[in-house]
Amino acid sequence: MSQHPPAVVAIDAGTTGIRSQVVGTDGSVLATAYRELTQHFPRPGWVEHDPGEIWTAVRNTAAEAVAGLDGRRTIAAIGITNQRETVVPWDRRTGHPLSRAIVWQDKRTAAACASLVDAGCQPLVRARTGLVLDPYFSATKMHWLLGEGGVEDTAHLCLGTVDSWILWNLTGGAEGPGVFATDATNASRTMLFDIVERRWSGELCDLFGVPARALAQVLPSAGRFGTVADGVFAPGSPLARVPVSGVAGDQHAALFGQACVVPGMAKVTYGTGSFVVANAGSTCPEPVDGLLTTLAWDLGDVGGGAPVAYALEGSVFASGAAVQWLRDGIGVIDHASDLEPLARSVESSNGVVVVPAFTGLGSPHWDPLARGTVTGITRGTGRAHLARAVVEAMAFQVRDVVEAMSGALVAPLSVLRVDGGASVMDLLLQMQADQTGIPVERPRSVETTARGAAMLAGLAEGVWGSVGDLTGLWASDARFEAAAPQGEIDAASLQWRRALARSRHWAEGG
């Protein structure tokens, strides 16, 4: 038995990059490695990733992260968290991808979703999955791959989300044993999974033309999925034969990593998009207009508490993406870190409003045809006003989701715990508290997505004994209370709603 203290490796396969972290028993990050992912935009509204690049980045970052430990820790488990809804098709005989992955941001199936809405299919989808008919989710992506995408429906086809692609390769792929599985949270985002019965829905598979045999086995979020196969990493690697024991979609992992284990607790992740997720308890709630109902996690028989939790979620499509647009699209900033000081250099946006609907609007509007809009420009508008307007847009979009959640939860929202890249901006978090009227808390470590995946895996392997052991690891870095005058908040809200209406009216040719 090794005398080295245990640690858990978390693989965070995000939209813009892959990060592997080693997490200690106190929740601290002991080592980390990162690789950026190439974004492919073959047509307007299409977004794709190379599955081979994803796997290479996973393998390289995991190996690099543990190499930094110099043998001081024993790796007890691996947890996986991932961009959700993205679909990877591959052949289980060869392990080779059959096309690029279609990313969650992709809008190529918007017309198909609209046709299904017109055909009256929305109530069925809403009742079974808690979702809405939108190209955001996996089912219409899978349908497209099997049709226009040229992927053949064979007995060897795997239609998986990114977590199942990584798990398949970690456990040996086509050379074996190659575990083809996913967890309940990722399954709940496909639009094919019955979140009450917690199984694939034959009715929905038939509706979308997706063969159930091509879907992954669904397992609890915490529990042993398989072990790392020999030859995946270099001989002598501390990752050899380590169990893969935790899997969750990124927003679910972040909710768990933020210790939002009590109904009514909520978190906001400011990433490529912004995701507001509130713990709704162990009973599936009734649908709420503009929001999604989803599985928060399924702990199976570990953790010592209620095994299943549901959540209400609002998904905003563009937050960090708006910062990237300022940097790469129009050259307003050179680095993402330039945003806050530039935005602070002016007292207001001077009437400028940015609606970053680059790929449509998510919650609570669900308008895939809306487009990015900038209003209020005058001759005096400068770079700083645009920068401040983008920060304000992040806060406005989250506020719209929080307002939709109001009254829908058994326990009202009392605090928003925040994470993600943009949560380092005090200016944003103060704006968020002002706009929602709810205190905003930032943890000492904002890498809660990876930490949540590590905690799920560690629970399964006994690194932590219970969910209660994990809540004590959360610590606050800063708290922001509402401070702006109500008149100022109301005026900004009116300007936002006017610009939002124009963003949506654009699709009508007006």
Question: How confident is the model over 223-233, as pLDDT tens digits?
Answer: 999 999 999 99
Instruction: Select from 313, 312, 287 the least CA-distant residue to 125.
Output: 287
* Residue 422 predicted with pLDDT over 50: yes
At residue 508, the pLDDT reads: 58
- What does the alpha-carbon distance between residue 186 and residue 200 come to, in Å, rounded to a whole number? 12
Confidence of residue 81 (pLDDT cuts 50, 70, 90): very high
Question: pLDDT tens digits for 324-348?
Answer: 999 999 999 999 999 999 999 999 9
Query: How would you list the strands of the sheet with 17-24, edge to edge?
Result: 29-36, 17-24, 6-13, 74-82, 243-249, 222-227
Mean pLDDT of 143-162: 95
* Residue 303 predicted with pLDDT over 70: no
Average pLDDT value over all residues in the chain: 92
- Burial (CB count <10 Å: 0-12, 13-18, 19+), residue 3: exposed
CA 222 from centre of chain:
18
Question: pLDDT tens digits for 353-393?
Answer: 999 999 889 889 888 889 999 999 999 999 999 999 999 99
Residues 6+ apart with CB under 8 A from 59: 169, 232, 233
Yes or no: say if 382 and 405 are a contact pair by the CB < 8 Å rule.
no
For the chain, state the CA radius of gyration: 22
Mean pLDDT of 9-22: 94
Mean pLDDT of 305-318: 87
At residue 36, the pLDDT reads: 94
Residue 293 CA: distances (Å) to CA of 248, 315, 410: 16, 11, 14
Say if residue 287 is preceded by a cis peptide, omega within 30 of 0: no
At residue 510, the pLDDT reads: 47
Count CB atoms within 10 A of the CB of residue 419: 26
At residue 20, the pLDDT reads: 96
* Residue 453 predicted with pLDDT over 60: yes
Confidence of residue 176 (pLDDT cuts 50, 70, 90): confident
Mean pLDDT of 265-273: 88
Confidence of residue 1 (pLDDT cuts 50, 70, 90): very low
At residue 507, the pLDDT reads: 58
- What does the alpha-carbon distance between residue 246 and residue 222 come to, in Å, rounded to a whole number? 5
Buried b (16+ CB within 10 A) or exposed e, 427-447: bbbbbbbbbbebbbbbbebbb
E strand or H helix at 12: strand 6-13
* Residue 252 predicted with pLDDT over 50: yes
DSSP states of 243-298 as a string? EEEEEEEHHHHHHHHTT--STT-EEEEESSSEEEEEEEESSPPPP-TT-EEEEEEE
- What does the alpha-carbon distance between residue 129 and residue 193 come to, in Å, rounded to a whole number? 6
Mean pLDDT of 388-410: 89
Mean pLDDT of 426-455: 92
Residue with tokens 């008149």: 487
Instruction: Select from 208, 189, 198 the least CA-distant residue to 136.
Output: 189
Strand partners, 246: 79, 222
The identity of residue 123, as a single letter, is: P
- Burial (CB count <10 Å: 0-12, 13-18, 19+), residue 166: buried
Yes or no: say if 474 and 345 are a contact pair by the CB < 8 Å rule.
no
Q: What percent of the chain has pLDDT over 70?
A: 97
At residue 304, the pLDDT reads: 63
Residue 328 is classified by DSSP as I
Residue 132 CA: distances (Å) to CA of 28, 122, 293, 314, 363: 37, 7, 10, 12, 10
The identity of residue 291, as a single letter, is: L
Instruction: Select from 225, 188, 190, 1 the least CA-distant residue to 86.
Output: 190
Confidence of residue 64 (pLDDT cuts 50, 70, 90): very high
- What does the alpha-carbon distance between residue 254 and residue 61 come to, in Å, rounded to a whole number? 20
- What does the alpha-carbon distance between residue 181 and residue 158 come to, in Å, rounded to a whole number? 10
Beta strands (DSSP E) in 339-454 are 353-355, 373-375, 416-419, 440-443
